Structure 1
Amino acid sequence: MQTIRIERTACPKEKPGKENPLTFGTIFTDHMFEVDYEEGKGWYDPRVVPYHKLELEPSSMVFHYGQEMFEGLKAYKTEEGKILLFRPDKNIERANRSNDRLCIPEIPEELFLEALKTVVSVDQDWIPTKPGTSLYIRPFVIATDPFLGVRPSHTYKFMIILSPVGAYYASGLDPVKIWIEDDYVRAVKGGIGEAKTGGNYVASLAAQVKAHEEGYSQVLWLDGVHRKYIEEVGAMNIFFKINGVVITPELNGSILPGVTRDSVLSLCRDWGIKVEERKISVDEIVAAARSGEMEECFGTGTAAVVSPVGELRLEDERMSIGGGKIGELTQRCYDTITGIQLGRLTGPEGWSVEVK
């Protein structure tokens, strides 16, 4: 594997004060990782360099055809000072699945993991340690060919930037309110819904703005064909606990295969809780909420980890869940996953990867 060269900044930034609460995704560390791709040459010149602005041609293909991929994971510092990544192999695997769908060259797994470790190690002093904080890691690829034509680019940049963050939702672990969207569509089977790419998120903005105006945190999407089956929340996968059974929509080609989603399913099975990955209709959800059979509802994702849902709204009907309080299973999932991430609990083999 190519050696990653390191160029340290001559002008370190001022780090956020420990007394100030961190917002999500607004502060960036001193350094970033970069590696370039050229058709026939492959990925070359991997480097950690000072965080900087990009210089690109206005005709760069990423601006015109949206050929780009991004990922998200976090680094944590344990009480003993160890630096841990949570299941980075799953993020690397998902990134390359997205790359394949978007006709972006695969990033060698060894290079990807070494890049993550190296840039986090260089900026390890930026990892916050207050409860509920972490170092968010954003790997991404952009197409850089200066060409106005619809085809895969011949050149790319793969970069990783870092951001010390607090809770994704300002409410923290307080239950959020979710708007069930029955007008706009996010993705369809056969499209790019299962890829981690900006096109999925820009498609969600109009509905998200509508939901925010009504006082709701996120949008819960229905399938794009029947407008009947539950898919995912804007920034999370979704789970329901109905009559003791944990149910989540099956991966069908339009749903993002979340790493936290997979972790929750694994933990529930280990705990002997019955889980079902299947189609679940909005009618079933509404009926369970009306009858009181829906015991808990929560979302999962890298940014929020586990987020309880206290209310669902479909058109004019508001459905309260669990009395608007966090459920026992939701809390257990959150405590277990964050405990593993922070090194307080021992998780399944391979879930914690140390950065040295």
Structure 2
Amino acid sequence: MNIAVEKVTSSKINEVDFDNLAFGSVFSDHMLECTYKNGAWETPKIVPYQPITLDPSSKIFHYGQSIFEGMKAYKDKDGGVWLFRPLENQKRLNISAKRMAIPELPEEYFMEGLTSLLQVDKNWIPENDGSSLYIRPFMFASGNGFHASPADEYKFIIATAPSGAYFSGKVRVLIEEKYSRSANGGVGFAKAGGNYAGQFYPTQLAKAKGYQQVIWTDDNTHEYIEEAGAMNIFVRINDTLITGPTSDRILDGITRKSILDIAADEGIKAEVRKISVAEVVAAAKSGELKEMFGAGTAAVVSPISGFGHQGTDYDLPELENSYAMQLKKRITDIQYNRAEDKFGWRYRVI
């Protein structure tokens, strides 16, 4: 594709302390922008990172047609730049787009646009161990009008942010019994912005009680655990790793899929099935509950140190050789080109 590039007149990279990067708060010099207009996506272009100007009647403000993805670029010790399963992000973006009545984006627009942007801003990819360039592709309704219908114009943008090693620490979570993240027939499987906005209030309530995050349960009975905050959740009972099946309510996480594949390769018994709250509580009481952790792009895995349910707190044991850390190391070694990639997940950019 003939992607036009408008470079910044002066880079701000020398103003950035790459040894002290907070997650998603410093942004690189350029972004990719693509407009859907007159029934077709125009050719993407790379422009300086800048504010977006929108009319007050733009439908994103009124009807919430907005989706996004989260991914990272990694730099190995020889300066090579890699992505991790980027086509999975591209496919999922279009799954989300279809559900939100947003025009799907051609694969070459996503992949060529992304790789071109990374080549322009390659110096923004940190070299420090554990650091990466966080990539945020997103799409939203830019067309105007107060009538409740899909927009006729959309924007696709990729912005990037160099980020340091993401350590969430071990978190305590509260099993939610009133609020729901999503419902059958809804948009829980899509990465729609509103899914995350709806999580903030229940999470604030949990934090006020001394927890860092919420474990979401099914919308109908609240009997089955489904996700941990904005991440997929895994539970280890004895030596079996369990995660819930994807559905209308659960995001088909790329890290989740990778963990299941690596667990099989490592000889770790894994099951994809419903996990009841009662089963988890009983396992915690009997000592059979060994681990719980979230799985997602930012942290890869986020260990859970304990959970609360109906006024009672349950602590999980400290393990020297946890599945969480074993699986995280295997994934990050692939991402940073430190180990064999027998799955073909690495995608070379430079």
Q: Under a length normalisation based on structure 1, what TM-score does the superposition of the two structures give?
A: 0.95
Note if contact 2:129-2:165 (Cα within 8 Å) is conserved in structure 1: no
Other structure's SS at 2:195 match: helix
Written as runs of structure 1 = structure 2, the 5 A alignment for 1:225-244 is: 225-244=220-239
Other structure's SS at 1:37 match: strand
| In structure 2, distance between residues paired with 1:8 and 1:43 | 22
Q: Which runs of 4+ in 1 moved over 3 A?
A: none
Amino acid at match of 2:183: V
Q: How many residues align?
A: 349
Provide the residue aligned with 2:184 in structure 1.
189
Q: CA offset at residue 186 of structure 1?
A: 1.1
Note if contact 1:310-1:326 (Cα within 8 Å) is conserved in structure 2: no
Note if contact 2:180-2:216 (Cα within 8 Å) is conserved in structure 1: yes
Bigger drift between 243-252 and 213-222 goes to 213-222
Provide the residue aligned with 1:304 in structure 2.
299
Residue 337 of structure 2 is aligned to residue 343 of structure 1? yes
| In structure 2, distance between residues paired with 1:104 and 1:192 | 13
Provide the residue aligned with 2:213 in structure 1.
218
Other structure's SS at 2:160 match: strand
2:256 to 258, 261, 280: 261
| In structure 2, distance between residues paired with 1:17 and 1:186 | 37
| In structure 1, distance between residues paired with 2:237 and 2:145 | 52
Provide the residue aligned with 1:108 in structure 2.
106
Note if contact 1:201-1:234 (Cα within 8 Å) is conserved in structure 2: no
| In structure 2, distance between residues paired with 1:252 and 1:55 | 36
Other structure's SS at 1:49 match: strand
| In structure 2, distance between residues paired with 1:326 and 1:164 | 31
| In structure 2, distance between residues paired with 1:267 and 1:350 | 12
Query: After superposition, what is the alpha-carbon deviation per residue over 1:19-64, rounded to whole angstroms, capped at 9, x for unaligned?
Result: 4x21111110000000100143x11031010001111000000000
Provide the residue aligned with 2:47 in structure 1.
49
2:136 to 135, 138, 143: 138
Compared CA separation, residues 81 and 9, structure 1 to 2 (3 A)? same
Q: CA offset at residue 210 of structure 1?
A: 1.3
Note if contact 1:296-1:327 (Cα within 8 Å) is conserved in structure 2: no
| In structure 1, distance between residues paired with 2:222 and 2:18 | 46
Query: After superposition, what is the alpha-carbon deviation per residue over 1:183-223, rounded to whole angstroms, capped at 9, x for unaligned?
Result: 21110111000000111001101111112223322211011
| In structure 1, distance between residues paired with 2:107 and 2:31 | 18
Q: CA offset at residue 260 of structure 1?
A: 0.2
| In structure 1, distance between residues paired with 2:320 and 2:203 | 23
Bigger drift between 306-315 and 47-56 goes to 306-315
Other structure's SS at 1:203 match: helix
Other structure's SS at 2:252 match: coil
Provide the residue aligned with 1:118 in structure 2.
116
| In structure 2, distance between residues paired with 1:216 and 1:39 | 49
CA RMSD in angstroms, aligned pairs only: 1.3
| In structure 2, distance between residues paired with 1:258 and 1:205 | 20
Residue 318 of structure 2 is aligned to residue 313 of structure 1? no
Note if contact 1:175-1:326 (Cα within 8 Å) is conserved in structure 2: no
1:330 to 324, 328, 350: 324
| In structure 2, distance between residues paired with 1:153 and 1:227 | 35
Residue 29 of structure 2 is aligned to residue 35 of structure 1? no
Gaps of 5+ in 2: none
Note if contact 1:308-1:326 (Cα within 8 Å) is conserved in structure 2: no
Q: CA offset at residue 11 of structure 1?
A: 2.5
Q: Under a length normalisation based on structure 2, what TM-score does the superposition of the two structures give?
A: 0.96
Q: CA offset at residue 326 of structure 1?
A: 6.5
